[in-house]
Amino acid sequence: MKALRIGAGLVSVLVLSLVALAAPAFAQSGQLKGKVVDAQNKALSEAKITMLAAETNRKYETKTDSKGEWRQIGLPPGPYTVTAEKDKLSQTFEVRVGLDTKEVNFSLQAGSGGQMSAEQAKKEAERVEGIKAAFAQGAELTNAGKYDEAIAKFTEVLASAPKCAECYVNLGAIYSRKQDWAKAEESYKKALEVNPESAESYNGLANAYNAQKKFTEAQAMNAEATKRMTAAGGPGNADAFYNQGVIAWNGNDFPKAQELFAAAVKANDKHAEAHFMLGQTNLNLGKLPEAAKEFETYLKIAPTGPSAEKAKANFEMLKQYIK
């Protein structure tokens, strides 16, 4: 246990051994990807891809890259009208998004079209509904603490939808709860093979590495998670910054930890634990007035929180330094 001398007394400094494990992600979404070529089978860059959800009328748009390839993640399951357009040529397909990755390729040429038959659409709808039901059962089993049964259920889903990135993410979270770090790492890596932009997978890997005290690897993975969560926006940024701050703290990089905890409270000024750890970091760096204010803020936000007792003791000792 480390200690920091302040005045005539000693203040114990909390050492965190683990980043708190995130709960499994049970939001159900899928993704589409594909390639667009011309009549000579040459890749078409900057082709516009439009995905219109039939049930909600919500539209998603993206463009092909220099290789003619495109990808759209985060699509709620259901029927979509997917269209590729460039230079007054277009092609449209009716597809059904599930929890896996569906590939939709286009060949833009005069007279191109493409439709799914009614029978094909019915069979695909039944397949997707079965996958959704099994996924939901896996989520329920996980929440009930029946981890082995949940693993079996998500594995069942993967047999029908081998590119279900969220199945792998949830398996990673379950194995993390079981502290089976090798299988957790394997699951998160498989999720990234399917969806390289999965912030949850990078964050899960960071947790797994951190639990094994592989702090360098943990920092690298959490940086990747933070990059993607920041790009996506939203309140999840605070948690990402907080987790990365804890990893920096565990690696004794206190200036970096201070920077990250400060970013966490900036992203969400109600993030109590981020305020507490910012206080701890300021304390370790000898910034006593700043530390006192963070402990005071924690007590206002979470007077009965898990770190309330330590925050109160530290605040009582440091409040004299507040100017």
Token pair of 85 as six digits: 């357009």
pLDDT higher than threshold 60 for residue 238: yes
Angle at 52 between CA 106 and CA 199, to 5 degrees: 85
pLDDT band at 294 (very low <50, low <70, confident <90, very high): very high
- Annotated domain spans of the chain: 3-26+127-321, 30-116
Under CATH, domain 3-26+127-321 is a member of which superfamily?
Answer: Tetratricopeptide repeat domain (1.25.40.10)
Q: Average the pLDDT over 245-249 and give the result.
A: 79
Q: Reduced to 3 states, what is the DSSP secondary structure of residue 4?
A: strand
| One-letter amino acid of 45 | S
- 34-43, 45-54, 224-233, 250-259: segment of lowest average pLDDT: 224-233
What average pLDDT is seen over the chain?
81
The percentage of the chain sitting over the pLDDT mark of 70, rounded to a whole number, equals 83
Average pLDDT over residues 222-235: 68
Residue 124 pLDDT level (bands cut at 50, 70, 90): low
Residue 216: how many CB atoms within 10 A of its CB?
10
Model pLDDT, residue 12 = 29
**Would you place residue 126 in the very low, low, confident or very high pLDDT band (cuts 50, 70, 90)?**
confident
- Confidence at residue 121, expressed as pLDDT on a 0 to 100 scale: 59
Reported as a pLDDT band with limits 50, 70 and 90, residue 321 is confident
d(CA 239, CA 145): 24
What was the pLDDT predicted at 307? 87
CB atoms within 10 A of CB 46: 12
Distance in angstroms (rounded) separating the CA atoms of residues 201 and 73: 14
User: Is residue 24 very low, low, confident or very high in pLDDT (cuts 50, 70, 90)?
Assistant: very low
The angle, 0 to 180 degrees and rounded to 10, between the axes of the packed helices 236-250 and 199-211 is 20
Query: The pTM is what?
Result: 0.53
Secondary structure of 17-61 as H, E, C letters:
CCCCCCCCCCCCCEEEEEEEEECCCCECCCCEEEEEECCCCCEEE
Q: In whole angstroms, what separates CA 102 from the centre of its chain?
A: 21
- pLDDT (mean) for 81-93: 87
Q: Is 144 helix (H, G, I), strand (E, B) or coil?
A: coil
Q: Is the pLDDT of residue 53 over 70?
A: yes
Q: Which residue is it, tokens 């516009």?
A: 48
- Tell me which CATH homologous superfamily contains domain 30-116: Immunoglobulins (2.60.40.10)
**pLDDT level of residue 198 (50, 70, 90 thresholds):** confident
pLDDT at 14 over 50: no
Cα dihedral across residues 230, 236, 241, 244: positive or negative: negative
Whether the predicted pLDDT of 300 surpasses 80: yes
Q: Yes or no: say if 73 and 4 are a contact pair by the CB < 8 Å rule.
A: no
What's the CA gap between 175 and 188, in Å, rounded? 10
Three state DSSP letters for 199-245? HHHHHHHHHHHHHCCCHHHHHHHHHHHHHHHHHHCCCHHHHHHHHHH
